[in-house]
Amino acid sequence: APFISSTVQSKLAIRAVILNDAELLKSLIDDINRVYSVHIRRDFAGSPSAIHYAIKNNNIQLLEMLVADMVEPKTNRCVNFEVPGIWQAAEKGSIGTFRFRTAEVMSDRGALEGNNAFLKVTEQVISHSQRMELIEYAIRHHCSPDVYNALYENFSCSSAIDCVCLCIENGRRDLASITMEKIKQRGRYGFNELHYQVLKFDDDELRVKRASEVTKKAKDAYQMTPIHCAAINPNAKYLKQLLTIA
């Protein structure tokens, strides 16, 4: 394809992910002279980028390529030059805004936006600092455990508590138990063994030593109790057992 601009060239990363074209994605990551970032959003602020599509498609290969570039971005990439835009009042567009003839501001079906709609297209780039947005996107879009682990491990996630809570809020018991296992290795963060059991067990018997364990609030995790965790386990016997004890 002919080169148009660094913005257009950068957005080809989205095309590469949608088409599952690892070769094209790798060439874009390596092209530091014409691609200023493979993590540019598609159009409006908050719209998905290539890494969002890789998460949504559960494409672990392309996801790992994108995450690796985000964690350790290439240096000396080309600079993106934004075209300046001026917001104009409806139906009062000047043909001399940029010192050359342009189309007048057009309105359609009563709309008063006209050409100003083009100014909504941003060139926002996803960065490593927005890793929790990506993890939340993965959880909400039913990602596989492999995709979740790739994001969690590569981003060296320091917000493990937020990850657990997001998983439980979205009914992702499998991901919540994975994160809980990682938390157990680094300290409990206010969780007890019963929190872990009701997330992990499918049909095993709970080991409850004291009634106080049932209502134990994880002080670092929004006061979450084992009852909250049991509520997302499809085996209702755990929730019934805890409610009976409580």
> DSSP per residue over 163-193, as a string?
HHHHHHHTT-HHHHHHHHHHHHHH--TT--H
For residue 221, give the 3-state DSSP assignment.
coil
What count of residues does the chain have?
246
> By C-alpha distance, which of 118, 61, 122, 63 is closest to 88?
118
Give the span between the Cα atoms of 210 and 71, in whole angstroms: 45
- pLDDT of amino acid 99: 54
- Asked whether the beta carbons of 180 and 191 are under 8 A apart, the reply is yes
Residue type, 195: H
60 burial type by CB count under 10 A (0-12 exposed, 13-18 middle, 19+ buried): middle
Domains and CATH numbers, the chain: 6-71 (no CATH), 159-245 (1.25.40)
Give the span between the Cα atoms of 230 and 225, in whole angstroms: 9
Low-confidence ranges of the chain (pLDDT < 50): 90-93
Give the span between the Cα atoms of 174 and 160, in whole angstroms: 15
* Distance separating the N- and C-terminal Cα atoms of the chain: 65
- pLDDT of amino acid 93: 47
> DSSP per residue over 29-89, as a string?
HH-TTT-S-TTB-SSSTT---HHHHHHHTT-HHHHHHHHHHHHSPPSSPPPP-PPP-----
- pLDDT of amino acid 91: 47
- pLDDT of amino acid 21: 95
